Amino acid sequence: MQILNEQKLIKLLEFYKQYKALSGYIDKKYKLTLNDLAVLYLAKKYCLDERILMQTFLKLATGELDISRTKILMSIRRLIDKEKLNKVISNRDERKIFLYMDENNMSEFDALFEDVEKFLSY
């Protein structure tokens, strides 16, 4: 029984080391967090075909990622600043903000996640 627990702890430690290494890598190379990557993935998932209302996106993201609205908003802001995500304010109602990804965002997304995949495969 003790050997099984030790194996689980070793596996947990390996996951932790991989998490820390990836976190450090994307922070150093891209100035992003793992939350930012998760939000960017969801942005691609929901903004692939059309613009999405920010309020709707926040509800979806908080539900799927189980993190606070504040952290998601910080990630959205950082992704917009880094030009990995775009926003547009409605002409009819300036309280409505839409998120979207253009072709440039999509190609950056693909390159970023390909780089992350390469990093994780080492």
Residue 18 lies in a domain: no
pTM: 0.86
Residue corresponding to tokens 């109602």: 93
pLDDT band at 48 (very low <50, low <70, confident <90, very high): confident
Confidence check: pLDDT of 2 > 80? no
CATH number at residue 50: 1.10.10.10
pLDDT of residue 19: 93
Residue 8 lies in a domain: no
Instruction: Determine the Cα–Cα distance for residues 33 and 28; give it in Å rounded to an integer.
Output: 10
Compare 122 and 81 and report the one with higher pLDDT.
Answer: 81
Residue 15 lies in a domain: no
Residue 26 lies in a domain: no
Q: Which residues contact 85 (CB under 8 A, 6 or more apart)?
A: 40, 43, 47, 76, 79, 99, 100, 101, 105
Residue 117 lies in a domain: yes
Q: Which residues span the domain enclosing 51?
A: 33-121
Q: How many folded domains does the chain comprise?
A: 1
Instruction: Determine the Cα–Cα distance for residues 68 and 45; give it in Å rounded to an integer.
Output: 19
Q: Which two tokens stand for residue 51?
A: 């613009």
Residue 10 lies in a domain: no
Rounded to the nearest integer, the mean pLDDT of the chain is 93
Confidence check: pLDDT of 75 > 90? yes
Q: Mean of the pLDDT values across residues 13-36?
A: 96
Compare 39 and 5 and report the one with higher pLDDT.
Answer: 39
Residue 92 lies in a domain: yes
pLDDT of residue 4: 66
Query: Is residue 62 within 8 Å of residue 68, measured between CB atoms?
Result: yes
Instruction: Determine the Cα–Cα distance for residues 97 and 77; give it in Å rounded to an integer.
Output: 12
Residue 14 lies in a domain: no
Query: Is residue 58 within 8 Å of residue 87, measured between CB atoms?
Result: no
